[in-house]
Amino acid sequence: MEDLKQVADLITANIIGTQKEVLTSDECARYLGVTKSSLYKWTSTRQIPYYKSPTGKICFFNRREIEAWMQSQRVATVEELDAKAQRYCRKGGRV
């Protein structure tokens, strides 16, 4: 029975990730693979793009904006950092 629930969760996540444009907090947290607590922390510190309902009580997320936000969190490779450090040193420490 637990296996069936896991399969159902995977199917739901796949549908959310490919078809639904506006996500609820639950759906967004599942889509990102984080807890709702983490998601609320990001919204309260305005680290993630979101919308509020007219009453201001419910948060909604645009799937495309969330995908863009995820891709904006890129971490530079060691080679990129080395190249940047070398350019910095050649300029005599000036930015």
Per DSSP, the residues of 53-75 read -TTS--EEEEHHHHHHHHHTT--
Tell which residue, 57, 43, 55, 51, has the closest CA to residue 23: 51
> pLDDT tens digits for 5-50?
877 777 776 665 567 899 999 999 998 999 999 999 999 999 999 9
Work out whether strand 22-24 and strand 59-62 pair parallel, antiparallel, or are unpaired: antiparallel
> pLDDT tens digits for 74-94?
899 999 999 999 988 987 766
The whole-model pTM stands at 0.65
